[in-house]
Chains A and B, each alone.
Chain A
């Protein structure tokens, strides 16, 4: 498929982008209401007003984001009220939007509502106590980072992906430093910023090399360019220094974003320093979006560089992913043992989870059943996101009531707040993967996919 052949814009493109546009516009609205109408009002009143307004925005965008999904399955006969061009994207010849820079498929239709639901929970968490004075800016930045995540999930082209990644992380740098009076929050924000922008620069250099080697930034075109004219076999990276450099740089960039060892140093500091709702958003939304983008780049664009077709162990990105995942799982879990701060411990746990998910990514790479394996990673991401968000909700309750967030501060929770203690126990059990909780099934499906590989020779 030549992307330039489909160079026409139509209404469907904008219809599919409606959730992003709604969120971006609502962010502006929240900002203007806070600056214009609530100037000089007491902090608590502004927090609640702006917070409820943001929740209204979440509901509005959730409705908008659900429409394509409802239309796709024609739930309640809704399809006849929706724009007919938008409801049946499976039948359209070209699943790409905006000249092939964005995708508008089932993945986006499912993940957009998910991001919005998670955003709603984060907004609700943020309303529980006053950690800043600038509520309009805070909620607007949360909205815009969500827009970045949605675009990151939808990106089908490296520049779009880079822009979305930056939109997301630049908003998150600022949110991290939002508790301006606390030294730790500001320091966490600066560290996140320095590590994040260095990793963006590395990613960008890798992008420029890939552009040079393939002549395109679009995933499908890169993939076509990488397959040799004759065979269509996977080549791996052996003997191709420029390609190896490019892949390495891109993996370092993504490794920073998903906090995989050895690129994880920012994560504990940013997680501990940031206000608990922001930490929750970095740990869930940003990680989900980065993983989807990582999988899209590695599998859709750079698939031929995975390894040589006859041997999985030959040079290629699959080896790098395996090393990263092994290091993350081991280091993340051991380092978490020594922590005394609750959020810091969760940061190391999220590093370990990134390792597990990288196992899944490697499994998709070698698998013959791409859809099922990729689905298992996505399922793991969703269960991980919700259990982690719950854990950070406990952390934000802890910060509100005690002003501290050490693990010791949880002592006696069972007698004072039995319901909360039960929830925390359930969430922790889900995170370690105890049956019959969701985390167990996430791990089960993913490791089954990894173990069930129809073994290629090698």
Chain B
């Protein structure tokens, strides 16, 4: 790295939590200032100014009355660090910034959002997930696993007790769908045939298919706290690794299947795809929790959201997957809770769902940084419900043209 690049990067360094620290420091400073006795300002006798001074004094008193102590600092901090939502956001989603379609789950069911912003309610399904090329959706309704096309027509139905949940379609050929049923992990053919038990002792965490290769390889979390990877066709155990005490929020293989991301509330791990050994680990503090993560389609970058509950603040970072260290860069920060992070199929845009702001933020980092914000997301996916809308979850952004 040249001096010039180094100096430029040093000038860009940002300290964490500056906004919250500033608010606390200002409270202390303002309280101290109130206690102090102040020397009167130097006075000069200018009789011709007195009428103007009197008028100004009235204005000043009025200004104080509508501007409580610290309001300016609070406003400044708010504007700089704490704005709950992006100002000047679009009032409705009129288009997606990148090709592909979104799968969204609300209380009304599963929706498909096209790139022109139009929405179609598939029906009252939950746990909806894309097939690898976005031609079909696997979802759950009642006690059945269902495959349907993007117009909502049901292609096959698989009743199952205990009820199925968290289906995941195998990448590439789409010949397998894995799902959890009670404490078992099961696999069914992409055409709805050949349903069978793959393993018992599975925990309710969405399984993750390894992309690439000719075999159908699946990783899942067990009730006794292990990550297990098996050949889904033969059932052969490929590797098993102990993981953290708490169940992961997400499992995801990198493109090419070199590594497996395991996201827990306080740990993010990258495991070696061949052995399950820990390649990289990131842990967090007591009041901070990881809330969502997803690797980009090319497998190079990992978007990670975390929440500091003490500061009521959330942040999204972009991390390097391939290098030895994480090379973390903050992408966004805001007050309250974020939802999930979702890469566009072409990997150029990141969708961040901001639950407390009722907004979706589309962020592009290259070739030039750009942010597109859309408001009123909850109502858009629950248009006919009376009362406040609930913020929906994004199930996937599919697929690369």
A joins B in a complex: no
Instruction: Give B contacts to A, CB under 8 Å.
Output: none
Instruction: Give A contacts to B, CB under 8 Å.
Output: none
